[in-house]
Chains A and B, each alone.
Chain A
Amino acid sequence: MADDIATVDPSSTTTEVLEKVVIRFAGDSGDGMQVAGTRFTDASALFGNDLATLPSFPAEIRAPAGTLPGVSSFQVQIADFDILTAGDEPDCLVAMNPAALKKHIEDLRQGGTLIVNTDTFEERNLAKAGYESNPLDDDSLRGYRVIKVPMDELTKEAVKGSGVSGRSVLRSKNFFALGLLAWLFHRPTEPTIDWARKKFANKPEVAEANVAAFKAGYTFGVATEATKSTFEVKPAALPAGTYTNVNGNTALAWGLIAASQKSGLPLFYGSYPITPASDILHELSRQKNFGVRTFQAEDEIAGVGSAIGAAFAGNLAVTGSSGPGIALKSEAISLAFIAELPLIVINVQRGGPSTGLPTKPEQSDLLFSLYGRHGESPVPVIAAASPSDSFEVAIEAARIALTYMTPVILLSDNSIANGSEPWLLPDIEAIPNIEVDFVKYPNGPDGTFLPYLRDVQTFARPWAIPGTPGLEHRIGGIEKDAITGDVSYDPKNHQLMTDTRAWKVANIANDIPDLSVDGDEDADLVVLGWGSTFGAIRAAARRARLDGRKVATLHLRYLNPMARNLGEVLSSYDKILIPELNTGQLLKLIRAEFLLDAVGLNKVAGEPFKVSEVAEKIMEMTK
Chain B
Amino acid sequence: MTAPIYTRADFQTDQEVRWCPGCGDYTILASVQQFLAGLSRNREEFVFISGIGCAARFPYYVNTYGMHSIHGRAPAIASGVAITRPDLSVWVITGDGDALSIGGNHLIHTLRRNVNLTILLFNNQIYGLTKGQYSPTSEIGKTTKSSPFGSIDYPFNPVSLALGAEATFVARTLDMDRSHTQKMLEAAYNHKGSAFIEIYQNCNVFNDKAFIQLTGKEERVHNRIDLEAGKPIVFDDGAKAVVMRGGEAVVVDSNSVDPKAILVHDPTNPNASVAFAVSRLSHGPYGPTPLGIFRDVNRPTYDSEVNAQVAAAKEKLGEGDLAKLIASHGTWTVDPSGNGASA
Contact = CB atoms under 8 A, between A and B. Distances in A.
Interface stretch (B42-50, B178-186, B233-241): B42-50
A295 B332 contact: no
Given A46-B343, A47-B342, A254-B322, A468 B44 contact: yes
A329 B294 CA distance: 35
Contacts of B52: 477
Contacts of B323: 425, 428
Contacts of A314: 84-85
Nearest to A45: B332
A315 B335 contact: no
B325 interface: yes
B154 interface: no
B332 A46 contact: yes
A600 B94 CA distance: 50
A236 interface: yes
B331 A307 contact: no
Interface string B326-343: 110111111110111111
A457 interface: no
Task: Say whether chain A's binding surface is mostly helix, strand, loop, or mixed.
Answer: mixed
Given A261-B322, A302-B79, A332-B73, A244 B334 contact: no
A475 interface: yes
Given A235-B340, A290-B322, A241 B334 contact: yes
A599 B69 CA distance: 43
A289 B320 contact: yes
A257 B83 CA distance: 18
Given A48-B332, A298-B109, A305 B45 contact: no
Interface string A227-252: 00000000111111111111000100
A467 B76 contact: no
Contacts of B316: 289
A246 B329 contact: yes
Interface in A447-506: 466-478, 486-487
B331 A301 contact: no
B80 A471 contact: no
Instruction: Report the contact-size class of chain A (Cβ under 8 Å from the partner).
Output: 35 or more
A301 B76 contact: yes
A243 B331 contact: yes
Contacts of A487: 15, 60
B306 A244 contact: no
A312 interface: yes
Contacts of A335: 69-70
Contact of B80 (A48, A241, A307): A307
B313 A289 contact: yes
Contacts of A467: 44-45, 85, 87-88
A293 B306 contact: yes
B320 A291 contact: yes
Contacts of A475: 66-68
Nearest to A478: B68
Interface string B57-84: 0011001111111100100111111111
Contact of A477 (B68, B318, B331): B68
B281 to A, nearest CB: 30
A573 B52 CA distance: 52
Contacts of B82: 309
Contact of B105 (A299, A391, A474): A299
B306 A425 contact: no
Interface string A24-66: 0000000000000000001001111100000000000000000
Contacts of B307: 293
Contacts of B77: 305-306, 308-309, 312
A266 interface: yes
A362 to B, nearest CB: 27
A317 interface: yes
Interface in B116-157: none
Interface centre among A245, A466, A477 (most CB of B within 10 A): A466
A513 to B, nearest CB: 24
Contacts of A243: 331-334
B338 A470 contact: no
B84 A293 contact: yes
Contacts of A188: 342
Interface string B100-122: 00000110010000000000000
A297 interface: yes
Given A306-B76, A306-B80, A289 B314 contact: yes
Nearest to B79: A306
Nearest to A246: B329
A475 B44 CA distance: 15
A425 B47 contact: no
B90 to A, nearest CB: 9
A313 B85 CA distance: 7
B258 interface: no
A257 B63 CA distance: 35
A473 B46 CA distance: 11
B338 A339 contact: no
Contacts, number: 234
A244 B326 contact: yes
A570 B165 CA distance: 58
A21 interface: no
B3 interface: no
Contacts of A558: none
A326 to B, nearest CB: 16
B64 A291 contact: no
Contacts of A535: none
B330 A472 contact: no
Interface in A278-321: 287-293, 295, 297-299, 301-302, 305-315, 317
A81 to B, nearest CB: 10
B319 interface: yes
A343 B217 CA distance: 52
A301 B77 CA distance: 10
B259 to A, nearest CB: 46
Interface centre among B52, B60, B319, B331 (most CB of A within 10 A): B331
A310 B319 CA distance: 21
Given A48-B332, A289-B316, A309 B80 contact: yes
Interface in B5-27: 13, 15
B320 A257 contact: yes
A308 B77 CA distance: 6
A69 interface: no
Given A335-B70, A428-B322, A472-B44, A295 B80 contact: yes
A331 interface: yes
Contact of A476 (B67, B87, B330, B332): B67
B147 to A, nearest CB: 26
A486 B105 contact: no
B81 A309 contact: yes
Nearest to B112: A298
B298 interface: no
A221 interface: no
A466 B65 contact: yes
7 contacts: A244-B330, A288-B309, A308-B80, A310-B83, A339-B67, A466-B46, A476-B59
Q: Which 10 A-B pairs have the closest CB atoms?
A: A48-B340, A309-B80, A476-B68, A235-B340, A305-B76, A290-B320, A237-B338, A306-B80, A288-B313, A302-B76
Given A46-B330, A428-B323, 5 more contacts: A236-B340, A266-B84, A309-B78, A466-B44, A472-B63
Interface of A: 42, 45-49, 188, 191, 235-246, 250, 254, 257-258, 261, 266, 268, 270, 287-293, 295, 297-299, 301-302, 305-315, 317, 331-332, 335, 339, 391, 425-426, 428, 466-478, 486-487
